[in-house]
Amino acid sequence: MRTWRKFGNGALAATSALVLLLAVSTGTAGAYYLFKRFVPLHDVRNTGASGEALIDYYGSQMPGERVVGINTYGLKPSSVYTVWLTNPATPYGNAIRRALGIDSNYFRTDGSGNGRYVTTANEDDLQGWRFLDIDYNPDGNPKNTKDMITILRGDMVYGYHY
């Protein structure tokens, strides 16, 4: 009986420690997904345009999902723009980019040159990208990536977290 009691108390302590460790580690990792990210979009062509992106927590049912909302101002009126996640060129290779969005990665500005784009993305898919780019498509075709011109750029690494 005494052996069982010793083993039982030790097992209880070990189990409690393990549960506490899992709770703390899950809470810390889970809390990361709750942060909002604000990414200012800066004009890289001196056109007078501006914008911002808010990457927000989607909800408790989808822990890793994010809502990405982008507002732009002062772009060319009634024009097509595409949204990209990009990493700059390195000595070892060219710049890489990936479309941001579930169905499509483009939006059309209104008559005043303002635009809004909203999509969802998994937090894991957003990791590892340096910039969020808004590119102008002069021919109005979002599938033509050859003639795109980057107008706005936001730094995903040094955006604000709150």
pLDDT at site 15: 45
Over residues 142-156, the mean pLDDT reads 95
Question: What would the pLDDT profile of 45-82 be if each residue is shown by its tens digit?
Answer: 999 999 999 999 877 677 788 999 999 999 999 999 99
pTM: 0.76
The set of long-range contacts for 93-96, using a CB threshold of 8 Å and a minimum separation of 24, is none
Residue range 134-152: mean pLDDT, rounded: 96
Lowest mean pLDDT among 23-32, 78-87, 133-142: 23-32
Residues 32, 158 contacting (CB under 8 angstroms): no
Question: Sign of the CA dihedral 66, 64, 17, 8?
Answer: positive
Stretch 134-141: mean pLDDT: 98
Which amino acid belongs to residue 136?
Y
Residue with tokens 């209104």: 110
Whether 58 contacts 120, CB under 8 Å: yes
